[in-house]
C-alpha cells in the first residue's frame, strides 16, 4: 500500500504515526535493505508495518522463526553491506542474546539497528525486564527516544552511528512510546543503493585470518569509547543549566516527558536544571558531570531499573562527593513499574516540600471497584481453544478420574488464557516453549502432566524440547492448540500457514510431520469444535505409551471472521422453549456470545458476537441451541 | 490556549482506536499538535481499552493525570464509568453509550452487571454533564453496529467542544474510510449529532 504514511515521500509533511510506525519510517528514511522481526507486544506493529510497505519500497522483510534467527538474518545482510533492522519485544532479546554477543564482538559492516520494546508495568508481558543491562553486558550503544518524532529520527541516526562505530545499535522503547501516536514531521528518504558484497577483510577467517577476528574484546571497548565521545556532543541530549539551580533532574528517554510535564505543572521550568538523556549507554560522563557539579541534588528519572542512576552514583562519588542522588534506589521514585505524570508531581513535591495539586480520586475509584467487575480477559466468542479445553477437561476427568490428576503446563499465546474462568484449566506458563520442557522434568519424577502449547510457540521454541522428550524416553503428553496463526500479536503467519509476511504463498510445514520426524509415534490431528471426536482423541493420548501428541486444529475465530468479510457468519440461537436455564453453557463453556437473559431466566445468543462456530450446540444437554437459519 | 483533553474508553473490538485516530487526524488537518496514549494490552480478548487524546500545545506525556480530561467518550457503560471517575475533570462532558458488553465474570455468573442508574449516579459525582444514550442502536439504524464509534464522534462534534469544526472531521472521515463505507458512516455521524441533542433534552 503506497499510501501508508510511512512511505510518503514529502519531506516536512506532518503525519500521524504510532511510535512503532515511526521506527519503520526512520528505517525507510535510512534506506534500510533488510528487516526481520518476531512478533510480540508491544513490538508487533513494527513488523506488521514493514510487511505492509516492503513491496512498495523494495526492502526485504520477514517474520522469522524466532528472535535469534531474525537477528542472524539481519547480521548476514549487514556483513554484505546492506543496512538491516531487527525488531523484538524485550524478552525476545533473551532468545537472541546468544547471537548479539558475537555480533557486537565481531562488529558490523552496514548499519544494524535492533529494536527492543520494553514493557514497564508488564502491560502484556511476564516481566518488566530492562534490556539496557543486556546492551551494557554486550557493549552495545543504546538510543532511547522520548517521542515518535525522535523514534523516527534516532532510527535514522542509529544506522549512521552503527556504521561509524562498527557496532550494532539498540533502539529501546517502552510500551507507552511504542503505542503512542503523535504528529511526526517526515524527513527525506535515502536511496539504498549500497553495493552488495561480503566483507571478506572484515569477517572471513580465510581472508582476514582467524586470530585477527577471534579476540576482539579490546576493539569492542575502543568502539564503545568512540560511542561515548560522540554522545558527549550528541544533539539529542539536551542540558538546560543556567547556573545557580539547586536541583537537577535527569530524564532518560521517554521518562523525560514526565519530567517536563511535572515541571510545567509546578511552574518550575526556570528554577530546576535538567538533562534530557537519550543515550543511557555508554553514559556521556562529561556531559552528565556538568550537571552533577552544578547542583546539590539530582533526581534520575527513568524506566524501569535504576540503570543510569547507578552510573550517576558511581560518577558522583568521584566528581561531586557531596551530591545527593535521588531516584528509584533512594525511594524518591518507586522501585518497580512505569512512571506517570502523577508520580513525578508527587516526587517533585516531596523533594521541594510543596504540595502537588492533582485532585485525588482514590475514594471514587474504590467505590467504582466495589460496584464494577474487573473485566477479565477471555477467549473470543467462537475461539477454538475454548472447545479444546472443554473436551480436554472431559477426557482428563474420564481417564484420571480427577481434573487435578495432571499438571497443565501452558505456554505463551491466547491459549495461555486457559487459566481464566470458567474453564480454569492451566497451572503454569513461563516462557516460549517451556511447557514441553518443564513437563518432562515433572514426568521424569512421576508427576503426570499435559503440555499445552500453541502452533506459533511450537515452531518458535517447542521443537528441541519435543526431540529431547523422545530421545530420553520421557512420555509427555502434548496438546498443540493450533489456531493456524499467531493470533495474540496480530495474526501473523506461522511456518504452517503457507504464506510469507507479505502474503506470498510458500511451503507449508506441518506440525504433525515435524512431530513424526522427531520420533513421536502417537500423533493425531482433530477439529476441536467436534467436541466428541476431540475428547476421544485426548483420551487416546492420555492412555498412550510414550510421547503422544494431539494437534487440535481450527482457524482462530477472529481471523476466520476477518477472512470472510464483508460476509457475516450465520449466528446460532437458543430455543427459549427448550432451554431449561441450567446455565451449563455459561458456567462450564462460557462463550462470550452466550448471554443470560435475566427476565426470561434463559440463555440467549448475542447474534452480533456469535461467530457461528456451533461448538456450543454439543454443550447444551437438552439440545436447545441451534443455527438460526438453515443454509 | 490550553490543550483539549479527551479520554476514550471501551472494550476491544469496539472501534475506539479508530475513533482516536480520526480525531487526531482532524487535529493535524487543523494544524494542531496531538498526542494519543493508548492502553490496550490484549484488547482482542475482550479486555478494556482506553485512549488519552490531547490536542494543542504544552503536552509532552501521552498519559493524563486524574481529573484532567475535558471530555469522556464512553463506548461501553461500565468502562465509561470506570475511566470517567478517574480522568474526567469536574464539570467535564461525559458522553456515554448505554449499551452493556458483559465481561466473562458476568457471563459465567460470578458477578452481576450493575444497573445503569447506579453506574451513572456514580459518574455524576464527578460531573453533572452526563449525556447518555444508546449509540449502538443509532449505529444499527445507520446500517451497522460497527459505526458506533462514528455515532459517538458525531455527538462529540455536536457538543461544540472540539477545537476544530465539523467540516474538518467530516473531511477526515471521507479521506480515511473506504468510499463504500463513507455514506453509512456519514449517516452514523448525523445520527450521533441528533442523538446528542435529543439526549440533552432528556
Ligand atoms: S455458535 Fe455458540 S459457541 Fe460458537 S460463537 Fe456462537 S454462541 Fe459461541
Ligand atoms: S484471537 Fe483467535 S485464538 Fe485468540 S482468543 Fe480470539 S479466537 Fe481465540
Contact B20 A373 (CB under 8 A): no
**Measured between alpha carbons, how far is B34 from A184 in angstroms, rounded to an integer?**
10
Instruction: Answer whether B66 sits within 8 Å of A358, measured CB to CB.
Output: yes
Q: Is the pTM of the predicted complex or chain greater than 0.90? A: yes
Residue % of chain B over a pLDDT of 70:
97
Q: How confident is the model at residue B180 (pLDDT cuts 50, 70, 90)?
A: confident
- For cell 541530549, the residue is A237
Intrachain domains A5-232 and A568-627 with the same fold = no
Does the beta carbon of A122 lie under 8 angstroms from any beta carbon of chain B?
no
- DSSP symbols for A90-125: HHHHHHHHHHHHHHHHH--SS-EEEEEEE-GGGSSS
Are A628 and A608 contacting, i.e. CB atoms less than 8 angstroms apart? no
Among A179-188, A235-244, B43-52, B73-82, the minimum mean pLDDT is found in: B43-52
d(CA A93, CA A358): 38
Percentage of chain A surpassing pLDDT 70?
99
Please give the CATH topology (third level) of the domain spanning A238-371: Rossmann fold (3.40.50)
Res B39: pLDDT: 82
Tell whether the model's pLDDT for residue B45 goes beyond 90: no
Question: A612: CA distance to ligand 1 center in Å?
Answer: 6
CA A509 – CA A246 distance, rounded (Å): 64
Q: Report helix, strand or coil for A467.
A: helix
Across the interface, do B104 and A260 touch by the CB < 8 Å criterion? no
> Residue-wise over B11-43: b if at least 16 C-beta within 10 A, else e?
bbbbbbbebbbbbbbbbbbbebbbbbbbbbbbb
Tell if the CB–CB gap between A340 and B82 is shorter than 8 Å: no
User: Quick one: A5-232 is in which CATH superfamily?
Assistant: Thiamin diphosphate (ThDP)-binding fold, Pyr/PP domains (3.40.50.970)
Alpha helices in A353-489 (DSSP H): 362-371, 384-400, 434-444, 455-457, 463-471
Report the CATH number of the B4-201 domain.
3.40.920.10
B106 in contact with A, Cβ within 8 Å: yes
Nearest-5° angle of CA A398, CA A403, CA A406?
100
Q: Is pLDDT of A532 > 50?
A: yes
What the block records as the C-alpha cell of B5 is 483533553
Q: Which of A385, A387, A457 to mutate to test the pocket of ligand 2 (most atoms within 8 A of CB)?
A: A385
Nearest-angstrom CA–CA distance, A512 and A537: 14
Residues 114-143 of B with CB under 8 A from A: 114, 118-119, 122, 125-126
Closest ligand to residue A389's CA: 2
Q: Rounded to an integer, what distance in angstroms lies between the CA atom of residue A151 and that of residue A210?
A: 38
Instruction: Reply yes or no on whether the pLDDT at A485 is more than 80.
Output: yes
What pLDDT was estimated at residue A630?
57
CB distance A486 to A494 below 8 Å: yes
Q: Count Cα neighbours of A136 within 13 Å in the Cβ-side half-sphere.
A: 13
What radius of gyration do chain A's Cα atoms show?
Answer: 27
Q: Which of B28, B62, B81 sits opposite A368 (nearest CB)?
A: B81
In chain A, which residues have their Cβ closer than 8 Å to the Cβ of B45? 377-380, 414, 417
Note whether A373 contacts B40, CB cutoff 8 Å. Answer: no
Q: Which residue has the cell 480520526?
A: B22
Higher-pLDDT residue of A490, A177? A177
Give Cβ neighbours of residue B12 (< 8 Å, ≥ 6 apart): B40, B42, B43, B44, B45, B46, B47, B48, B49
Ranges of each domain in chain B:
4-201
Confidence band, pLDDT 50/70/90 cuts, at residue B110: confident
β partners of residue A481 = A454, A552
Exposure class string for B48-71: b at 16+ Cβ within 10 A, else e? bbbbbbbbbeebbbbbbbbbbbbb
**With 50 as the cut, is the pLDDT of residue A2 above it?**
no
Query: Can you give the length of chain B in residues?
Result: 202
Residues of A in contact with B103 (CB under 8 A): 373-376, 378
Cell for A227? 560511542
User: CA B68, CA B56: separation in Å to the nearest integer?
Assistant: 14
Ligand number with the minimum distance to the CA of A381: 1
Domain range A384-563, CATH architecture: 3-Layer(aba) Sandwich (3.40)
pLDDT for A358 equals: 80
Q: Looking at ligand 2, which residue's alpha carbon is closest to its atom 3?
A: A556
How far is residue A168's CA from residue A158's CA, in Å, rounded to a whole number? 9
* Residue B108 confidence (pLDDT): 76
B116 CA to centre of own chain: 18
Query: What is the sign, positive or negative, of the torsion defined by CA atoms of A325, A331, A335, A339?
Result: negative
C-alpha cell at A313: 552514583
Residue A140 has pLDDT above 90, yes or no: yes
Kindly list the protein residues whose Cβ atom lies closer than 6 A to any atom of ligand 1: A 381-382, 572, 591, 593-594, 605, 610-616
Which residues, other chains included, contact B86 with Cβ-Cβ below 8 Å and sequence gap of 6+?
A: A361, A364, A365, B66, B67
Flag whether pLDDT at A629 surpasses 80.
Answer: no
Domain extent listing, chain A: 5-232, 238-371, 384-563, 568-627
Q: Which residues between 272 and 311 in chain A have a beta carbon less than 8 angstroms from any beta carbon of chain B? A: none
For chain B, say whether A123 makes contact (Cβ under 8 Å). yes
User: What is the predicted pLDDT for the residue at B105?
Assistant: 87
How many Cβ atoms from other residues are within 10 Å of residue A340's Cβ?
19
**CA–CA dist A427, A403 (Å, integer):** 11
Determine the length of chain A: 631
Instruction: Say if CB A17 and CB A184 are below 8 A apart.
Output: yes
Comparing CA positions, the residue from A517, A516, A497 lying closest to residue A507 is A497
Q: Which of B24, B108, B113 sits opposite A181 (nearest CB)?
A: B24
| Residue with CA nearest ligand 1 atom 3 | A616
Distance of alpha carbon A76 from alpha carbon A178, whole angstroms: 27
Question: Model confidence over A229-258: pLDDT tens digits?
Answer: 999 999 999 999 999 999 999 999 999 999
Asked if B156 and B166 count as a contact pair (C-beta separation under 8 A), the reply is no
Distance from C-alpha of A350 to C-alpha of A354, rounded to nearest angstrom: 7
Question: Chain B residues with CB inside 8 Å of A389's CB?
Answer: none
The helix (H) or strand (E) run that includes residue A543 is helix A531-543
Within 8 A of B108 by CB-CB distance, chain A residues are 421-422, 586-587, 590
**Mutate which of A44, A382, A383 to test ligand 2's pocket (most atoms within 8 Å of Cβ)?**
A383
Among B86, B105, B108, whose Cβ lies nearest the Cβ of A361? B86
Q: What is the rounded CA–CA span in Å between residue B61 and residue A398?
A: 55
Structural fold of domain A568-627: Alpha-Beta Plaits (3.30.70)
| Mean pLDDT within A369-379 | 92
CA dihedral A61, A65, A66, A69 (to 10 degrees): -70
Measure A272 CA to nearest chain B CA, in Å.
18
For residue B111, which residues of chain A lie inside 8 Å, CB to CB? 373
- In whole angstroms, give the CA distance from residue A309 to residue A99: 28
pLDDT at res. A1 = 37
Instruction: Report the C-alpha gap between A348 and A575 in whole angstroms.
Output: 62
User: Residues of A with CB below 8 A from B11's CB?
Assistant: 375
pLDDT reported for residue A631? 47
Ligand 1 atom closest to residue A605's alpha carbon, by position in its atom list: 7
CA distance A368 to chain B (A): 6
Contacting A residues, span 12-71, partner chain B, CB-CB under 8 Å: 14-16, 41
Q: Is the pLDDT of residue A44 over 50?
A: yes
Q: How high does pLDDT run on average in chain A?
A: 95
Least confident of A112-116, A332-336, A393-397, B99-103: B99-103
Amino acid at each position: 500500500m503506497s499510501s501508508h504514511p510511512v512511505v510518503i515521500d514529502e519531506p516536512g509533511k506532518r503525519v500521524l504515526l504510532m511510535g512503532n510506525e515511526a521506527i519503520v519510517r526512520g528505517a525507510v528514511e535510512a534506506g534500510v535493505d533488510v528487516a526481520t522481526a518476531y512478533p510480540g507486544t508491544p513490538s508487533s506493529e513494527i513488523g506488521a508495518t514493514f510487511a505492509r510497505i516492503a513491496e512498495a519500497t523494495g526492502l526485504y522483510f520477514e517474520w522469522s522463526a524466532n528472535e535469534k534467527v531474525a537477528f542472524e538474518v539481519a547480521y548476514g545482510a549487514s556483513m554484505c553491506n546492506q543496512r538491516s533492522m531487527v525488531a523484538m519485544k524485550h524478552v525476545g532479546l533473551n532468545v537472541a542474546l546468544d547471537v548479539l554477543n558475537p555480533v557486537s564482538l565481531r562488529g558490523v559492516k552496514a548499519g544494524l539497528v535492533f529494536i527492543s520494546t520494553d514493557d514497564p508495568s508488564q502491560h502484556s508481558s511476564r516481566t518488566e525486564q530492562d534490556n539496557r543491562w543486556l546492551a551494557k553486558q554486550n557493549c552495545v550503544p543504546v538510543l532511547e527516544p522520548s517521542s515518535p518524532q525522535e523514534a523516527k529520527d534516532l532510527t535514522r541516526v542509529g544506522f549512521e552511528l552503527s556504521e561509524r562505530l562498527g557496532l550494532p545499535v539498540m533502539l529501546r522503547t517502552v510500551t507507552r512510546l511504542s503505542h503512542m501516536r503523535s504528529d511526526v514531521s517526515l524527513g527525506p528518504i535515502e536511496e539504498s543503493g549500497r553495493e552488495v558484497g561480503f566483507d571478506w577483510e572484515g569477517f572471513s577467517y580465510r581472508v582476514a585470518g582467524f586470530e585477527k577476528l577471534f579476540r576482539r574484546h579490546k576493539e569492542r571497548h575502543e568502539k564503545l569509547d568512540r560511542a561515548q565521545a560522540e554522545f558527549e556532543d550528541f544533539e539529542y541530549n539536551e542540558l538546560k543549566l543556567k547556573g545557580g539551580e539547586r536541583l537537577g533532574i535527569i530524564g532518560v528517554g521517554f521518562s523525560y516527558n514526565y519530567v517536563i510535564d511535572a515541571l510545567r505543572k509546578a511552574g518550575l521550568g526556570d528554577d530546576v536544571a535538567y538533562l534530557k538523556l537519550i543515550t543511557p549507554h555508554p553514559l556521556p560522563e562529561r556531559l552528565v558531570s556538568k550537571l552533577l557539579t552544578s547542583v546539590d541534588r539530582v533526581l534520575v528519572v527513568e524506566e524501569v531499573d535504576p540503570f543510569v542512576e547507578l552510573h550517576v552514583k558511581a560518577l558522583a562519588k568521584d566528581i561531586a562527593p557531596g551530591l545527593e542522588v535521588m531516584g528509584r534506589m533512594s525511594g524518591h521514585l518507586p522501585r518497580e513499574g512505569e512512571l506517570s505524570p502523577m508520580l513525578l508531581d508527587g516526587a517533585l513535591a516531596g523533594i521541594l516540600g510543596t504540595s502537588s495539586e492533582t485532585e485525588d480520586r482514590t475514594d471514587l475509584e474504590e467505590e467504582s471497584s466495589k460496584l464494577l467487575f474487573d473485566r477479565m480477559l477471555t477467549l473470543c466468542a467462537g475461539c477454538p481453544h475454548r472447545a479444546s479445553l472443554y473436551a480436554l477437561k472431559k477426557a482428563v476427568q474420564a481417564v484420571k478420574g480427577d481434573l487435578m490428576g495432571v499438571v497443565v503446563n501452558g505456554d505463551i499465546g491466547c491459549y495461555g488464557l486457559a487459566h481464566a474462568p470458567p474453564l480454569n484449566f492451566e497451572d503454569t506458563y513461563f516462557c516460549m516453549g517451556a511447557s514441553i520442557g518443564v513437563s518432562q522434568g515433572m514426568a521424569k519424577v512421576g508427576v503426570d502432566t499435559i503440555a499445552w502449547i500453541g502452533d506459533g510457540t511450537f515452531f518458535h521454541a517447542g521443537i528441541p524440547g519435543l526431540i529431547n522428550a523422545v530421545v530420553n524416553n520421557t512420555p509427555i503428553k502434548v496438546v498443540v492448540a493450533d489456531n493456524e496463526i499467531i493470533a495474540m500479536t496480530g495474526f501473523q503467519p506461522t511456518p504452517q500457514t503457507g504464506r510469507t509476511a507479505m502474503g506470498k504463498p510458500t511451503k507449508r510445514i506441518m506440525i504433525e510431520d515435524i512431530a513424526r520426524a522427531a520420533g513421536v509415534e502417537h500423533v493425531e490431528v482433530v477439529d476441536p469444535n467436534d467436541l466428541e471426536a476431540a475428547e476421544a482423541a485426548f483420551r487416546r493420548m492420555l492412555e498412550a505409551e510414550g510421547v503422544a501428541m494431539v494437534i487440535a486444529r481450527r482457524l482462530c475465530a477472529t481471523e476466520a471472521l476477518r477472512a470472510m468479510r464483508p460476509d457475516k457468519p450465520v449466528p446460532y440461537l437458543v430455543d427459549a422453549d427448550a432451554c431449561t436455564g441450567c446455565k451449563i453453557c455459561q458456567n462450564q463453556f462460557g462463550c462470550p456470545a452466550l448471554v443470560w437473559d435475566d427476565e426470561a431466566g434463559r440463555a440467549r445468543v448475542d447474534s452480533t458476537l456469535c461467530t457461528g462456530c456451533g461448538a456450543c450446540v454439543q454443550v447444551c444437554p437438552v439440545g436447545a441451541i441451534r443455527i438460526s437459519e438453515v443454509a | 490556549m490550553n490543550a483539549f483533553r479527551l479520554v476514550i474508553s471501551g472494550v476491544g473490538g469496539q472501534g475506539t482506536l479508530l475513533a482516536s485516530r480520526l480525531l487526531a487526524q482532524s487535529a493535524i488537518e487543523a494544524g494542531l499538535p496531538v498526542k494519543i496514549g493508548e492502553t490496550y494490552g490484549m484488547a482482542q480478548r475482550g479486555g478494556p481499552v482506553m485512549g488519552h487524546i490531547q490536542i494543542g500545545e504544552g503536552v509532552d506525556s501521552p498519559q493524563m493525570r486524574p481529573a484532567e480530561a475535558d471530555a469522556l467518550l464512553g463506548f461501553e457503560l461500565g468502562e465509561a464509568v470506570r475511566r470517567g471517575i478517574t480522568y474526567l475533570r469536574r464539570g467535564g462532558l461525559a458522553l456515554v453509550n448505554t449499551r452493556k458488553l458483559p465481561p466473562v465474570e458476568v457471563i459465567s455468573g460470578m458477578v452481576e452487571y450493575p444497573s445503569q442508574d447506579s453506574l451513572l449516579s456514580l459518574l455524576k459525582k464527578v460531573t453533572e454533564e452526563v449525556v447518555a444514550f444508546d449509540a449502538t442502536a443509532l449505529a444499527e439504524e445507520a446500517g451497522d453496529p460497527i459505526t458506533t464509534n462514528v455515532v459517538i464522534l458525531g455527538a462529540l462534534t455536536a457538543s461544540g467542544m472540539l477545537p476544530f469544526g465539523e467540516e474538518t472531521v467530516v473531511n477526515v472521515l471521507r479521506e480515511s474510510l473506504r468510499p463504500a463505507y463513507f455514506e453509512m458512516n456519514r449517516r452514523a455521524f448525523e445520527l450521533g449529532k441528533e442523538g446528542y441533542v435529543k439526549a440533552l433534552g432528556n
